[in-house]
A and B are shown apart, each in its own frame.
Chain A
Amino acid sequence: MSEAVFRLRNMLERVNNFHLSSSETCLDILSAVLERKGEEDVVILSKGHSAPAFYVTLHEMGFITWEELLTFADIDGLPSHVARGLPFIEVSSGSLGQGLSVANGIALAKRADGKGEKVYVILGDGELDEGQVWEAAMTASHYGLDNVIAIVDRNYFQLTGGTEETLRKEPLADKWRAFGWTVIEVPNERSAIETALDYAERIKGRPKVIIARWEK
């Protein structure tokens, strides 16, 4: 067990294991993205319920202390879903399906200003049930937003069961491709995600999605 997973389990023991699994599968994605992020790049955690993983990552990066981690979901502590005002967090989340649209707005504004920074948006696979994700997928593709990089935490689980039993997502890569995106499929582990991000950044003229498959 990595130190991050240990900390995650320890902090969530006190709160009924709040979104523990979907936080565990998000750890490598978050650390890869947050450490790569340039000063003016933007990260949007659309699956805001992975806030515990986000806080553990902030802790590993030295932004918050262990004591602060333990205030998770306490009335004056760290909010249970990420909120605007936290380090790196530009938009509150918690309600699914909106992050990609927000990412597009930021990306369009940056492009209009002639800025080259990127917008990373982390989505859950269950979240893809929300129709708005696909509205936004069309918008990003229509505008050729190559400064948008989406990462899907493909952990095959959503709230009440397996993703394929709840509402079938496959063939998932084909869906994104059909919407005009370049798809990169990788195992959900740090080095593979980093390689995928390197590759994604070199592709111009289209939005890119990395599908990070949980294979553990």
Chain B
Amino acid sequence: MIESFREAFGRTLVEIGREELKLVVLDADVKSSTRTSYFEKAFPNRFFQVGISEQDMVSTAAGFAIAGKIPVASAFASFLMRAWEQIRNTVARDNLNVKLVSTHSGFSDYLDGSSHQCLEDVALMRVLPNMRVIVPADAPSVEVLLREAVKLEGPVYMRLGRDYAPRVYERPKLKIGKASILRKGNDVLLIANGVMVSVALKVADTLEDKGMRAAVADFHTVKPLDEETLLRMASPVDVVVTLEEHSIYGGLGGAVAEVLSERMPRRVIRIGTTQFGRSSRDYLSLLDRYGLTAEKVVRRLEEVVA
């Protein structure tokens, strides 16, 4: 079942807004694309448009947080990163209760091409003190994790794709900071987040046909990373594979490699990108081109593990 990240985001915001009256939503003229337009329709007095100015949006959100509101500021991941310095110097440094939600991350804005395809944001956010970084796997995960993020005090960066979101969970019981174990196995460990969780499950199926039992975990929270679950799951295996729709530098793969190299050395194979994206008429052909489909991942693993 395929649902949409942004639809889940837009609809859940409205549901949270009914109960949490301190919730306000800020937009930089992308509300119809991010689906925060649903919130504007439901609560016009709690929706604030600042125009095409992500930097102003982030600092204005900081002001709302200082005044006791719970601001959600949303834009395409690529353009939200334009406000990295505002996020660093105001939101993160002052540990303000600002929720930053990006949409159209990874390759999901396939048609718009490399300017719009953000493959660096997890690294940029993960490096910031106080910041939590969350990458939900599917639409039901967005619902659960967004509710949790709003309840938490302090800054959160939530990274969402656009529409393509194969369902991983029926009724997910997810907690920020706690990895979700989806499959057990002692031959290889697959660690993924975002859309790549569904890919990792397919990879595990294929590997099982070849007689290899793969464990799969959804590390939706990249920061703080659930180190205990990582170490427990890595302990029986020789090879840990990370899968993310993001650069292999500084994202989930980087985080996992950092922890394992220090605490439990294992061979880590990072599946992700090292280049900018490109425009395409459909999303899946981009995932294929960059080696992020189940078939390509299996082939890569056969090459490097054999």
Residue numbers of A with Cβ under 8 A of B are 42, 84, 90-92, 94-95, 97-98, 101-110, 112-113, 131-132, 135-136, 138-139, 142
- Chain B residues with CB under 8 Å of chain A are 24, 45-46, 48, 50-51, 53, 55-56, 58-69, 71, 85-86, 89-90, 93-94
Residues of chain A within 8 A of B71, CB atoms compared: 105
CB distance A107 to B63 under 8 Å?
A: yes
List 3 tightest A-B contacts by C-beta distance, closest first.
A105-B63, A101-B59, A109-B67
- Which B residues touch A104, using CB under 8 A? 56, 60, 63
B67: contacting residue among A84, A101, A106, CB under 8 A: A106
In the complex, residue of chain B having the shortest beta-carbon distance to the beta carbon of A137:
B56
Whether B67 contacts A110 by the Cβ 8 Å rule is yes
Query: B55 to A135, Cβ gap below 8 A?
Result: yes
- Which residues of A lie under 8 Å from residue B62 when comparing CB positions? 91, 98, 101-102, 105
Known A107-B63, A109-B24, A135-B50: A102·B69 in contact at CB below 8 Å = no
- Chain B residues contacting A94 (CB-CB under 8 Å) are 89
- With both beta carbons as reference points, the residue of chain A lying nearest to B52 in the complex is identified as A135
A109 with B56, Cβ < 8 A, contacts A91-B90, A92-B89 known: no
Contact A98 B64, beta carbon cutoff 8 Å? no
A27 to chain B, nearest CB (A): 25
Task: Please list 17 pairs of residues, one from A and one from B, whose beta carbons are closer than 8 Å in the complex, sorted by A's number.
Answer: A90-B66, A94-B89, A101-B58, A101-B60, A102-B90, A104-B56, A105-B66, A107-B63, A109-B64, A112-B24, A112-B46, A132-B56, A135-B51, A139-B50, A139-B51, A139-B60, A142-B51
**Contact A98 B94, CB 8 Å, known A109-B67, A109-B68, A109-B69:** no
Apart from A112-B45, A131-B55, A136-B56, list 14 A-B contacts with CB within 8 A: A90-B66, A91-B94, A92-B89, A98-B55, A101-B55, A101-B63, A102-B60, A102-B90, A105-B61, A105-B65, A106-B64, A108-B48, A109-B24, A139-B56
Q: How far is the CB of B241 from chain A (nearest CB, A)?
A: 39
Bound Cα distance A109, B25 (Å): 12
> Shortest beta-carbon distance, A196 to chain B, in Å?
24
List of A residues within 8 angstroms of B59 by Cβ = 98, 101-102, 105, 132, 136
Complex CA gap A122/B93 in Å reads: 20
Closest Cβ of chain A to B40, distance in Å, is 14
Q: Please report the C-alpha to C-alpha distance between residue A138 and residue B53 in the assembled complex, in whole angstroms.
A: 10
Q: Are B51 and A105 in contact (CB under 8 A)?
A: no
Interface contact B60-A105, CB-CB below 8 Å: yes
* Distance to closest chain A CB from B165 (angstroms): 31
Nearest residue, chain A, Cβ from B45: A112
Q: Which residues of B contact A113 (CB under 8 A)?
A: 67
A110 CA to B17 CA, complexed, in Å: 19
- Asked if A108 and B45 sit within 8 Å, CB to CB, the answer is no
A112–B67 CA distance with the chains assembled, in angstroms: 11
A98 to B63 Cα, complex, angstroms:
10
Output the least CB separation between A140 and chain B (Å). 10
Residues of A within 8 A of B68 (CB): 109
Most buried by A among B48, B53, B56, B93: B56
State how many angstroms separate the Cβ of B242 from the closest Cβ of chain A.
33
